[in-house]
Amino acid sequence: MAGFFLLRDQTEHGPFTFRELVQMVRHNELNVDDLVKADWEFDWHPAAEVVGLFHMAGRDDVLALWENEQRKKAEERNSERDFAADSESESESTRSLHATGTPAPEDGWSMPQKSLAETLDEPSLGGTPVAAENSKSSRTKQLIRSMFSQEGLRSGLSWGMAFVCANLTGYGVLNWAEREFSRFPGEINAATTRIFPVWGLCSHTEFAFLLLDAVIIAGILGYGLSRLLLAMAED
């Protein structure tokens, strides 16, 4: 079974099971910024990055606050990086003007001399194409994150169980009907009559409706059973 280790006061504690970590989060014994790692990992990382940990503990609110803080810090770092790049670009431009003997203006600012063609060819960071590309990338990341989140995996498992149960039921009914029909050769008119379990003899139209009902009921039962098993596993 996979184990997790906790780093506190430069001391490594563990191993802990995933269920033990969930209990620690529920009792406020483990915070989002506490460093943990699994036994197959080499680097320590915040507990908030353990997939499904705070969701299983019912602390989605704490996880959401942590993610917002991380997003703000990332935006601040990007802003500082862009400012530093702009400052470096201005310094390079000023040094180039002094090196060529061109007098610098009194206020220390010079308007770059570029042709209209060069200006039109340059991409605009605030323009619509870049903004649209960033928006598309963000939507794609959100879609992938939702698909592989805890709730997304649970939904996929439930619908998969429903699909399997429905198909197995349909195959079983058809196979049973063929076997029953082969037991009475010549006694049943195959062109107008079919045999359905429990129902007995019926027309092809009735058989189709009964088969559809059986498949739908089996799918619903499979979906409900998978949800019940997941709820029992969480408890």
pTM over 0.85: no
Which tens digits make up the pLDDT trace of 161-199? 889 998 999 888 888 777 776 776 666 666 677 788 887
| 3-state SS, residue 4 | strand
Output the CA torsion sign for 25, 26, 27, 31: positive
Distances (CA, A) of 163 to 16, 139, 150, 157, 222: 36, 28, 20, 10, 8
Q: Is 35 helix (H, G, I), strand (E, B) or coil?
A: strand
The yes-or-no verdict on residue 149 having pLDDT over 80 is: no
What's the average model confidence in pLDDT over 135-152? Answer: 68
Instruction: Give the separation between CA 14 and CA 19, rounded to whole angstroms.
Output: 13
Length of the chain measured in residues = 235
Q: What digits encode the pLDDT tens for the residues 29-40?
A: 888 888 988 888
pLDDT tens-digit readout, 71-118: 888 888 888 887 777 777 766 666 665 555 555 455 545 555 555 545
Distance (Å, whole) CA 102 – CA 94: 10
